[in-house]
Amino acid sequence: MITQKTKYALKALMVLGDAGKEALTIEQIAQRSGAPKRFLEHILIELRKAGYLAARRGRSGGYHLIRDPRSIALGALLQQIDGPIAPLPCLSRRSYQPCEDCADEESCRLRRIFGQVFYSYLVLIDSLTLDDLLQRPAAAEALDLQSLPGGE
């Protein structure tokens, strides 16, 4: 599950992606994304430091995307905001740690099953970009969320 912070970051990036080269103030981004301004300020600074955004000063100032939405991979973005996304520490590519209660990773059934699920998740999430989030609902209709377990 993604955190609320990640959700706010993704919504802010979608607002900025929709705005194109236009710089938007924090207030405008907060209003359009529904994210609280006080959280958004910290998130935007983090995204700027990570190289996704730039800030313009002055009368027509604000934040704007500096990378093409097609080059912003969702997997990397999730890791940038939340850190490791692996379900077990022994499966993390960037923050690997052996599980404290595991004597042998090679024979660990939890690692084997969650590793398979996690690998499938990584393949999918690494193939998606911010541009995929910017696509209009008509394109999203191809993915039938009703057919997923728990879909309504």
Residue 139: its pLDDT value, please? 46
What kind of architecture, by CATH, is found in domain 1-138? Orthogonal Bundle (1.10)
Asked if pLDDT for residue 2 goes beyond 60, the answer is yes
- The pTM is what? 0.79
Structural domain spans, the chain: 1-138
Please tell me which residue, 139 or 23, carries the higher pLDDT value.
23
The mean pLDDT of the chain is 86
Which tens digit of pLDDT belongs to each residue from 81-114? 988 888 888 888 778 888 888 888 888 988 888 8
145 pLDDT tier (thresholds 50, 70, 90):
low
Residue 65's closest CA among 7, 4, 24? 24
Q: Which two tokens stand for residue 129?
A: 């970009």
Asked if pLDDT for residue 142 goes beyond 70, the answer is no
58 pLDDT tier (thresholds 50, 70, 90):
confident
Which tens digit of pLDDT belongs to each residue from 59-69? 778 999 999 99
Please tell me which residue, 144 or 94, carries the higher pLDDT value.
94
Q: Provide the terminal-to-terminal Cα distance of the chain, rounded to the nearest Å.
A: 18
